[in-house]
Amino acid sequence: MSGLVCPVCGREGRGVCLDCFLEKRPIEFKELNLTFCNCGKVRSKDAWLEYSDWVVKDLVKHSLRASRDVVVENMKVSVEGDTAHITLDVIYEGKKGSKTFDLPITRSSSTCISCSRIRSSYYEAVLQVRGEDLNFHVNKDYLMKADKVRGGADYYMTSMNYAKQKAHEFLERGYFVRESSKLVGQKDGADLYRVYVSVRHPDFNPGDVVQHKGKLFRVVSLGRLVRFTEVDTRKSTTYPINALKDSKVVVSKGEVRKGNVTEVRPDGVQVMDAESFQNYELPKAGGMKEGDEVEFILISGRMRLL
């Protein structure tokens, strides 16, 4: 017996033994975290690779922290569920020992370079909105990009369903909506379409007088069904917005005049324009009395009561 012992534990050997050294300067590992993309690739430093044991082993190797005074070799890594089983040999001043570690693997997710490249130019639908009233909200989660174009803007949407939902909202608000689709390729043997939704604000607004099927109507409210009052009969009526594409504004809301009934006779009434003080003769409209305020429009110099 040489008489040499470990000064810490008293075990036989020269100098501090391996166990006592590792007790003071243990081998440690940083958190083992694997970052996966939805496509299955895993991040390894700044590259994205197919998942393999090598990736885990490389991660373990780079997360190992050991004293400069030891040599680590023969590292083996096996993965079981979310646990990495690690065995390795440690050599400290000629003294060698085998160590095992069971470490948890955590997972996080991110988007790999190729997926983000695809995603950044991917769209399923284009919402083409035209008109002055562009006051509406688009969920940015579904927006790839928005381009200003003449008379409005084009919104490139990553979801066809979302674009259709927006189209429906526009229709309910009284916009003209037209949907078309274009075959853009194939995916997994199925035809791939892109949807184009063209959305246009009508030329008319509430208060305007429009001509439709040869009759005059005053717009009451916009919607999928536009509400009108027919000028001649003063009756309320509705038309679907999509039937009104060719309807033209005859008199805009700002051109509607105000006046007062100045005379009621058995054969007619006289109305004075409140601004020009000009008098107009009208066949008698029921229920009018002197002093009544009326709204009217002038068409070819002829007064039409609203």
Cβ atoms 127, 106 nearer than 8 A: no
| Rounded least distance, CB 6 to Zn ion, Å | 3
Nearer to Zn ion by Cβ, of 6 and 127: the residue is: 6
Distance CA 162, CA 184 (A): 19
127 near Zn ion (CB under 5 A): no
Cα separation, 32 vs 60, whole angstroms = 7
Q: Of 91, 115, 138, 220, which one interacts with Zn ion (CB under 5 A)?
A: 115
Six token digits for residue 91: 């050599």
Minimum distance between the CB of residue 122 and Zn ion, rounded to whole angstroms? 13
Q: What is the 3-state secondary structure (H, E, C) of 217-283?
A: EEEEECCCEEEEEECCCCCEEEEEHHHCCCCEEEECHHHCEEEEEEEEECCEEEEEECCCCCEEEEC
CB of 8 to Zn ion, least distance (A): 4
Binding mask 85-114 for Zn ion (x = CB under 5 A): ---------------------------x--
Task: Compare residues 97 and 223 and give the one whose CB is closer to Zn ion.
Answer: 97
CA angle (99 as vertex; 57, 84 as ends), nearest 5:
35
Task: Return the number of the residue (112 or 250) whose C-beta is nearest Zn ion.
Answer: 112
Contacts with Zn ion in 18-57 (CB under 5 A)?
20, 37, 39, 41
Cα 83 to Cα 86: distance, rounded to the nearest angstrom:
10
Min separation Cβ 245 and Zn ion, Å: 45
Question: Is residue 250 a contact point for Zn ion (CB under 5 A)?
Answer: no
- Interface positions with Zn ion (CB under 5 A): 6, 8-9, 17, 20, 37, 39, 41, 112, 115
